DNA sequence: CCCATTCTCTGACTAAAGTCAGAGAATGGT
DNA sequence: ACCATTCTCTGACTTTAGTCAGAGAATGGG
């Protein structure tokens, strides 16, 4: 990964101090408030089921727990009358857990305690300190979230890839003045975005696909970025830049020394990103009907001895 | 407490999001790294014993564990040859745990893993994001630490109070051009800083005294702040301001409408604090030989219906 | 319709984490 | 010298938090 250079010692140190303070302060209080009369396993489950219910397999996935264990926890919550579990109508192997009225009440209690906990962290501070703490927390939150996003090369037919591509088309449809009709656009045919003539990256946050980017590697020609998209709720995490860096590195690894792309004028954030990432605007190199701008960047090949 | 007003809902919300992200990301990784081949109870203990050893009772206190449990953990570490436990010479009921050479090596392994953990949080980020994350972490760390400091009224003869007063004198001795001789200064006699004619506050961080401030409440005269001091490692946490706010409130509660103090020109940070807290410089109201500045603040009495 | 797969559940375990009630050695104050 | 207190330890527990192997129902593709 192009970003994966080692952090320096002072940074490591500060992160460790942070971890210590936070696990002490937040961790201790967390258990104190949440686990007051119920094992935290159950409390977490109750929380994760949520107001609208959840499939058992999603619960397992979200909490990272063994299927037998989750099943047992659900039995215990059922016995307390807090939860009911029923087969999903569409696929009767899957079962859906829902909160009963009592379960909802119990969840509200947990909710209240979480608020108490949050309040107790802020309480000893004055208004100015609070503002600064909350702002710094938002920043940490945002950047740690950014750091949990994974980038993987997948086949463009993978369900996560298809999901992103559908969202991509839907968004263009909404944002382009003229709408967007995939049939009119210069779509790379599927083979162009899979090895050996290309690749397709999917970004995932907690397992959910939240962005994609394709790279065409036509033999003997510049590499070309296609269909880069980031889900609205995953924006402002530096994901676009991370895609570009990753694609640039991969293009270089495949021996290309030029990376290019085309884009529509409606995508103003993307235009800014390309420029700040070192792309230069060039003359049209294709006749994509939806493009208004064409960009190119000279990249360094893989290091040689 | 004067700072203890309720935080607003948006702040509470952000704190909760933060707690969630951090416990997921830091918590999970923490256990993953530290508990790799050893129960985390033992790992924490090994860590807490430290290079120089620790009394068993301090360990219990720091980790908040049952005495039987700690004893058992120590037995297990002893059996592995990582720790030796011996009676303290001064009080043979108390026992001190020390790391053996093997224990020190094991602790170094844990240390390395903590570094890995910290590194793994930063690894997916680019340099700019890292800088911002580390800065935000430092801010959170600092403010959460500030929030764990407690302020309590104690008798000026309490060991914690005496500790602070000794440190206070030692610091003045070092910082005043002329040195500081307590015998020449207008020392409030002990009775003046305990009820009903005064009070004495001690600030504590993790049980350690880290600051103090006295308030004289002479009958029918303005309240007067004396001997305010914050330990060097607890500075920049807004503690001075917190002392002032607390003393102001207590003075008001005792019906005073003027708060005053004198100070030496060498204490520049304190001078700035007093001014920014609303104190006005006034003519000398006493003949303290070490004072160069006298300040006064008009305060509001307790609310009346 | 058959068969491989998916999903949840149960039974049978294990390890970690902790609690509780004393026992026995040291200590400090009187 | 005596006694209450402090400190650590041991034995006997419990609860929490899992893991693992397989059984049985439902589904989907051929």
Please report where in the chains the tokens 């070092």 appear, as a residue. Answer: B174
B51-91 tens-digit pLDDT: 999 999 999 988 889 999 999 999 999 999 999 999 998 89
Instruction: Kindly list the domain boundaries of chain A, sorted by start residue.
Output: 9-124, 150-298
Contact A122 B147 (CB under 8 A): yes
Dist. CA B177–CA B48, nearest whole Å: 41
pLDDT of residue B183: 67
Contact B14 A141 (CB under 8 A): yes
Given CATH 3.40.630.30, say whether it is the number of domain B150-298: yes
* C-beta of residue B120 within 8 angstroms of C-beta of residue A11: no
Distances (CA, A) of A292 to A154, B135, B143: 29, 40, 49
Residues 6+ apart with CB under 8 A from A201: A151, A152, A153, A154, A212, A213, A214, A215, A243, A246, A247
Dist. CA A189–CA A186, nearest whole Å: 9
Of A233-242, B3-12, B60-69, the poorest mean pLDDT is in B3-12
Which among B115, B21, B265, B147 is positioned nearest to A15, based on CA atoms? B115
Percent of chain A with pLDDT over 70: 90
pLDDT of residue A3: 46
Residue nearest to nucleotide D24 (CA to C1'): A93
* C-beta of residue B83 within 8 angstroms of C-beta of residue B99: yes
Stated length of chain B: 305
B121-147 tens-digit pLDDT: 898 898 889 999 999 999 999 999 999
CATH class of B9-124: mainly alpha
CA of B204 to C1' of D13 (A): 38
User: Does at least one atom of strand D sit less than 7 Å from the CB of B94?
Assistant: yes
Contact A137 B14 (CB under 8 A): yes
User: How does the average pLDDT of chain A come out, rounded?
Assistant: 87
Chain A / chain B CB contacts < 8 angstroms: 198
pLDDT of residue A176: 78
Give A-chain residues touching B23 at CB under 8 angstroms.
Answer: 26-27, 30
Q: What is the largest CA-CA distance in chain B?
A: 70
pLDDT of residue B3: 46
Q: Which nucleotides of C are covered by protein (CB under 7 A)?
A: 6-12, 15-22, 24-28
Q: Nearest-CA residue of chain A relative to B17?
A: A141
Percent of chain B with pLDDT over 90: 47
Q: Which nucleotides of D are covered by protein (CB under 7 A)?
A: 6-12, 15-22, 24-28
A154-183 average pLDDT score:
82
Please report where in the chains the tokens 């003519």 appear, as a residue. Answer: B283
Contact A12 B147 (CB under 8 A): no
Q: What is the secondary structure of B52-120 as a DSSP string?
A: T-EEHHHHHHHHT--HHHHHHHHHHHHHTTSEEEEE-SS-TTSEEEEE-HHHHHHHHHHHHHHHHHHHH
A49 has a pLDDT exceeding 60: yes
Q: Which residues touch strand C (CB under 7 A)?
A: A 55-57, 60, 67-68, 70-72, 74-75, 85, 91, 93-95; B 35, 39-42, 65-69, 72, 91-93
- The helix (run of H) or strand (run of E) holding residue A179 is none
* C-beta of residue A3 within 8 angstroms of C-beta of residue B122: no
Strand pairing class (A280-282; B54-55):
unpaired
Of B18, B119, B144, the CB nearest to A141: B18
A34 has a pLDDT exceeding 70: no
Q: Nearest-CA residue of chain A relative to B236?
A: A129
B254-275 average pLDDT score:
89
């Amino acid at each position: 990964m192009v970003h994966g250079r080692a952090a320096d010692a002072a940074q490591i140190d500060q992160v460790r101090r942070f971890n210590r303070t936070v696990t002490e302060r937040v961790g201790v209080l967390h258990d104190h408030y949440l686990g007051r009369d119920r094992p935290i396993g159950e409390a977490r489950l109750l929380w994760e089921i949520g107001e609208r219910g959840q499939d058992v397999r999603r619960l397992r996935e979200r909490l990272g727990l063994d299927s037998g264990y989750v099943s047992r926890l659900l039995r215990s919550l059922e016995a307390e009358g807090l939860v009911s579990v029923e087969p999903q109508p569409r696929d009767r192997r899957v079962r859906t857990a829902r909160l009963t009225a009592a379960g909802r009440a119990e969840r509200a209690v947990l909710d209240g305690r979480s608020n108490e906990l949050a309040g107790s962290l802020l309480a000893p501070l004055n208004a100015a300190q609070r503002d600064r703490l909350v702002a710094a927390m938002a920043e940490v939150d945002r950047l740690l979230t950014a750091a949990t996003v994974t980038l993987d090369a997948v086949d463009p037919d993978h369900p996560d890839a298809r999901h992103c591509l559908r969202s991509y088309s839907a968004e263009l449809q909404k944002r382009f003045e003229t709408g967007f009709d995939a049939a009119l656009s210069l779509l790379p045919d599927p083979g162009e975005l899979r090895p050996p003539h290309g690749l397709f990256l999917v970004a995932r946050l907690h397992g959910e696909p939240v962005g994609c980017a394709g790279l065409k590697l036509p033999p003997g020609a510049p590499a070309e970025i296609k269909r880069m998209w980031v889900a609205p709720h995953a924006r402002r995490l530096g994901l676009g830049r991370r895609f570009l860096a990753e694609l640039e590195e991969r293009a270089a690894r495949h021996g290309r020394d030029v990376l290019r792309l085309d884009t529509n004028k409606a995508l103003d954030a993307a235009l800014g990103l390309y420029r700040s990432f070192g792309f230069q605007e060039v003359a049209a190199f294709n006749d994509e009907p939806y493009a208004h701008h064409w960009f190119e960047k000279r990249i360094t090949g893989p290091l040689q001895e």
